[in-house]
């Protein structure tokens, strides 16, 4: 019996990666074996990848090489001034516009791999062009080591694209959870924000499945009722996910927890870099914090932490905005050379929930 399966790959594939994690959230950095992308801008290249090589994303993010909550990045040549590298982010559903945990890892990776000329001590700037714009990472740099030993003791902080509160106190009917008061904020990606008590869960004790179910319901309700726009590009104008918080937005309690559920019900193990950025913008424009007031954000999934603070008032189109600084640490977990034999039908990627 002849199989009807038609492989999107024309030959056997070998792809090399470096594996890292930031605050528990994985990052698969593709280092070789990926096809060349056409396009002048990073958004052009992202579109070309989505339309022509999405099977490579599935190969690397899905089982048997990845898993439902895998996250990856493809480095590309940047097309803006002051960028050292360009980054296209990928996950279980597609491609995101910004990823803070990846930026933190890439800052360290760029120094360790010699992608930044003449690094300086005690800190080196790394310009990373993301689909949402140029993000600046600042990497603690200790010269004298070799490879990943160079940055082993160094933390990374990054400063965001202009971030803003898109809408506050929206009344959204969430099936199964009644009417909710939802904030929508932008930190390189758009997120909906609700408190755990409003959707009947507790971040510290509820099963993660209950948190995911509630967050997904909010995301679907917001997507169906709220029209999102971004002053710079329609490619940025979509809801990436929902962040459920412990409700401690006031500065009186510096430590606050949240869980981000994004893409296709994917759970971020970290506090979420772009989510922290969006949440700082929300807190700033609701009057809960001032410029330079640092907060600690704890992941409700792993207990890992990022710091965040608003450092400068700016504008983004008609929106009052802030530049947000987020800090954290990333670590190496290994390296891989992944192989696909063209006749391997399951090896093209599948997901089990």
| pLDDT tens by residue, 181-240 | 999 999 999 999 999 999 999 998 999 999 999 999 999 999 999 999 999 999 999 999
Predicted pLDDT of residue 211 = 98
* Residue 99 annotated as catalytic: yes
Q: Where are the alpha helices (DSSP H) in the chain?
A: 42-52, 54-61, 100-112, 208-225, 273-285
- Spatial distance between the Cα atoms of 353 and 346, rounded to a whole number of angstroms: 16
| pLDDT band at residue 5 using 50, 70 and 90 as cut-offs | low
Predicted pLDDT of residue 353 = 82
Are 239 and 184 in contact, with CB atoms under 8 Å apart? yes
Task: Give the residue among 20, 17, 18 at the shortest CA–CA distance from 328.
Answer: 20
- Spatial distance between the Cα atoms of 265 and 254, rounded to a whole number of angstroms: 28
Mean pLDDT of 142-167: 77
Query: How many CB atoms within 10 Å of residue 4?
Result: 5
pLDDT, tens digit (0-9, with 9 covering 90-100), for 73-112: 999 999 999 999 999 999 999 999 999 999 999 999 999 9
The alpha-carbon radius of gyration of the chain (Å, integer) is 20
Exposure of 334 by Cβ count < 10 A (0-12 exposed, 13-18 middle, 19+ buried)? exposed
pLDDT exceeds cutoff 60 at 150: no
Which position among 99, 130, 132, 260 bears the catalytic label? 99
Are 18 and 109 in contact, with CB atoms under 8 Å apart? yes
In sequence order, the 6+-apart residues with CB closer than 8 A to the CB of 337 are 14, 15, 16, 17
Predicted pLDDT of residue 343 = 87
- Spatial distance between the Cα atoms of 161 and 146, rounded to a whole number of angstroms: 32
Q: What are phi and psi of 284, to 5 degrees?
A: -65, -50
Exposure of 14 by Cβ count < 10 A (0-12 exposed, 13-18 middle, 19+ buried)? exposed
* Helix H or strand E encompassing 243: strand 239-245
pLDDT exceeds cutoff 50 at 46: yes
| pLDDT band at residue 151 using 50, 70 and 90 as cut-offs | very low
Are 299 and 243 in contact, with CB atoms under 8 Å apart? no
Predicted pLDDT of residue 135 = 98
Q: Which domains are seen in the chain, by residue range? A: 13-155+332-337 (3.10.310.10), 164-326 (3.10.310.10)
pLDDT exceeds cutoff 90 at 18: yes
pLDDT exceeds cutoff 60 at 149: no
Predicted pLDDT of residue 195 = 97
Are 280 and 163 in contact, with CB atoms under 8 Å apart? yes
């Amino acid at each position: 019996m002849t199989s009807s399966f038609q492989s999107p790959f024309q030959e056997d594939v070998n792809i090399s990666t470096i594996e890292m994690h930031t605050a528990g959230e994985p990052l698969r950095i593709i280092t070789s074996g990926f096809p060349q992308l056409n396009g002048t801008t990073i958004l052009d290249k992202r579109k070309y990848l989505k339309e022509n090589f999405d099977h490579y994303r599935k190969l690397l993010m899905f089982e048997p090489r990845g898993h439902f909550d895998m996250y990856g990045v493809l480095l590309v040549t940047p097309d803006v001034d002051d960028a050292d590298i360009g980054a296209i982010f990928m996950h279980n559903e597609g491609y995101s516009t910004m990823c803070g945990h990846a930026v933190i890892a890439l800052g360290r990776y760029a120094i360790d791999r010699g992608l930044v000329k003449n690094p300086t001590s005690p800190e080196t700037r790394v310009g990373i062009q993301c689909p949402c714009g140029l993000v600046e990472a600042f990497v603690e740099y200790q010269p004298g080591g070799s490879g990943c030993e160079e940055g082993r003791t160094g933390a990374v902080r990054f400063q965001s694209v202009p971030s803003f509160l898109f809408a506050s106190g929206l009344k959204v009917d969430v099936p199964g959870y009644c009417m909710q008061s939802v904030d929508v904020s932008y930190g390189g990606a758009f997120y909906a924000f609700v408190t755990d008590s409003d959707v009947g869960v507790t971040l510290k004790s509820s099963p993660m499945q209950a948190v995911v179910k509630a967050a997904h319901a909010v995301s679907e309700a917001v997507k169906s009722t709220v029209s999102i726009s971004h002053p710079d590009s329609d490619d940025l104008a979509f809801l990436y996910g929902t962040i459920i918080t412990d409700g401690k937005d006031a500065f009186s309690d510096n430590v606050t927890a949240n869980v981000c559920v994004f893409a296709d019900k994917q759970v971020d193990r970290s506090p979420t870099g772009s989510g922290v950025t969006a949440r700082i913008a929300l807190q700033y424009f609701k009057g809960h914090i001032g410029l330079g007031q640092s907060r600690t954000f704890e992941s409700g999934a792993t207990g890992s932490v990022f710091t965040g603070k608003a450092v400068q008032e700016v504008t983004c189109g008609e929106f009052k905005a802030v530049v947000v600084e987020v800090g954290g640490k990333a670590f190496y977990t290994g390296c891989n050379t992944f192989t696909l034999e063209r006749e391997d039908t399951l090896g093209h990627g599948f997901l089990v929930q």
